[in-house]
């Protein structure tokens, strides 16, 4: 199926998608702040500029968009236009994620990944559950957390 807008319009639309301060990220930030957690945002000193940095807990949280990070869920669908471009783009994003995770681990940071599908769509979890699990992980010594929507 052909795209319904011109390539120039599509390019402008895609360029307008934010990489920081996304709705899932803001939801997490507001909820964690409300229960007493304090954090830094997008710390440029750390690999990948994690969405939230919790120095007190030696942890970072990454709010991953299912499309941009190629998550295997109902929110991810390969675009029908320019498939070669998108396969390469998503593959690069996944490689960057793996490299960033490795570097953060080497620096001693614990990492939490919260997928967009845990916060949005038909498989979303109750926000109270997401916040409780995230808070429990932050207070624990577990090295990693990954939250995704219901299977």
- Can you tell me whether residue 10 is helix, strand or coil? helix
Instruction: Give the model's pLDDT for residue 31.
Output: 97
pLDDT at 64: 95
What is the reported pLDDT for 18? 65
In whole angstroms, give the CA distance from residue 113 to residue 61: 6
The fourth-level CATH superfamily of domain 20-147 is VSR Endonuclease (3.40.960.10)
Q: Which residue has the tokens 């919260």?
A: 114
Q: What is the pLDDT of residue 21?
A: 79
Q: Mind listing the pLDDT tens digit for each residue in 9-34?
A: 867 776 666 667 788 899 999 999 99
Q: What is the pLDDT of residue 124?
A: 96
Beta strands at 52-54 and 40-41: parallel, antiparallel or unpaired = antiparallel
> Tens-digit pLDDT profile for the chain (151 aa)?
567 778 788 677 766 666 677 888 999 999 999 999 999 999 999 999 999 999 999 999 999 999 999 999 999 999 988 899 999 999 999 999 999 999 999 999 999 999 999 999 999 999 999 999 999 999 999 999 999 998 7
Distance CA 136, CA 140 (A): 6
Predicted pLDDT at 19: 66
Q: Where in the chain are the domains?
A: 20-147
76-101 residues labelled b (16+ CB within 10 A) or e (exposed):
beeeeeeeeeeeeebeebeeebeebb
The pLDDT value recorded for residue 1 is: 53
**Residue-wise DSSP of 72-88:** SSTT----SSSHHHHHH
Which residues fall within 8 angstroms of residue 136, CB to CB, at 6 or more apart?
none
- Pairing label, strands 110-115, 59-64: parallel
Q: Is 127 exposed, middle or buried (0-12, 13-18, 19+ CB in 10 A)?
A: middle
- pTM of the complete model: 0.88
Q: Cα–chain-centroid distance for residue 66? A: 8
pLDDT of res. 46 = 98
């Amino acid at each position: 199926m052909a795209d319904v807008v011109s390539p120039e319009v599509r390019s402008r639309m895609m360029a307008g998608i934010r990489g920081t301060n996304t709705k899932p990220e803001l939801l997490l930030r507001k909820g964690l702040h409300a229960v007493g957690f304090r954090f830094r945002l997008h710390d440029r000193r750390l690999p990948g500029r994690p969405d939230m940095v919790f120095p007190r807990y030696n942890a970072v949280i990454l709010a991953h968009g299912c499309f941009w990070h190629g998550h295997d869920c109902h929110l991810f669908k390969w675009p029908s236009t320019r498939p070669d471009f998108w396969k390469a783009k998503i593959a690069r994003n996944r490689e960057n994620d793996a490299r960033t995770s490795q570097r953060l681990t080497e620096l001693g940071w614990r990492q939490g990944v919260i997928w967009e599908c845990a916060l949005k769509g038909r498989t979303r979890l109750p926000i109270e559950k997401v916040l409780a699990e995230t808070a429990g992980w932050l207070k624990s010594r577990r090295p990693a957390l990954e939250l995704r929507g219901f299977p």
